[in-house]
């Protein structure tokens, strides 16, 4: 039996693309296995919405849900190479970044995208986040 290949991850920023506020322009991955996490929303284990009208509470619940999903495959946020944020209001970006920084390695942050949407699957939701992680 062969040993799993340890992934080599190199996060990079490109000076010609400008300064990034807490994310990398890209992540180069060699080896390992890739895990794709579906978009997580601000719901608890019973499916109830957490943080009605409170963006920070919803963002924290979303990241806690991502943490649980990562743990289910034996990973942590250290394995995340890409995050995609769906926000109903870009005015919430500063709060989103603050919560994100509680979970990711800010010295080597994942590649990220943020998209403003008119609505999410439930009308009370303000944020959804999906992730890509790499593991041995």
Q: Grade residue 133 by pLDDT with cuts at 50, 70 and 90.
A: very high
| Percent share of the chain, pLDDT over 90 | 71
pLDDT, average across residues 92-108: 96
Q: β-pairing, 80-87 with 111-116?
A: parallel
What distance in Å separates the CA atoms of residue 136 and residue 134, rounded to the nearest whole number?
A: 7
The residue with tokens 């499916």 is 47
pLDDT, tens digit, for every residue of 101-113?
Answer: 999 999 999 999 9
User: Residue 92: is it exposed, middle or buried by C-beta count within 10 angstroms (0-12/13-18/19+)?
Assistant: buried
Residue 118, phi then psi, degrees to nearest 5: -80, -25
Q: Are 11 and 111 in contact (CB under 8 A)?
A: yes
Please tell me the pTM assigned to this model.
0.86
Strands (E), the chain: 8-12, 26-30, 33-40, 80-87, 111-116, 127-135
Task: Examine the pLDDT at 5 and tell me if it is beyond 80.
Answer: no
pLDDT of residue 2: 57
Q: How far apart are CA 85 and CA 39, in angstroms?
A: 9
Say if CB 85 and CB 127 are below 8 A apart: yes
Instruction: Write down the domain spans for the chain.
Output: 8-135
Q: What is the pLDDT of residue 6?
A: 65
Looking at every residue in the chain, the average pLDDT score rounds to: 92
pLDDT band at 135 (very low <50, low <70, confident <90, very high): confident
Q: Is the alpha carbon torsion for 84, 88, 94, 99 positive or negative?
A: negative
Give the helix ranges, DSSP H, for the chain: 55-72, 93-103
CATH code, 8-135: 3.30.1330.40
């Amino acid at each position: 039996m062969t040993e799993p290949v340890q992934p080599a991850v190199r996060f990079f920023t490109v000076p010609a693309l400008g300064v990034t506020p807490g994310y990398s322009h890209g992540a180069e991955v060699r080896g390992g296995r890739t895990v794709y996490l579906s978009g997580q929303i601000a719901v608890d284990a019973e499916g109830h919405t957490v943080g009605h009208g409170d963006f920070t509470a919803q963002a924290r619940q979303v990241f806690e849900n991502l943490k649980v999903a990562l743990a289910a495959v034996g990973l942590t946020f250290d394995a995340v190479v890409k995050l995609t944020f769906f926000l109903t209001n870009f005015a919430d970006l500063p709060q989103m970044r603050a919560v994100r920084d509680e979970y990711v390695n800010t010295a080597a942050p994942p590649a990220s995208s943020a998209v403003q949407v008119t609505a999410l699957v439930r009308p009370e939701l303000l944020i959804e986040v999906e992730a890509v992680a790499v593991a041995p």
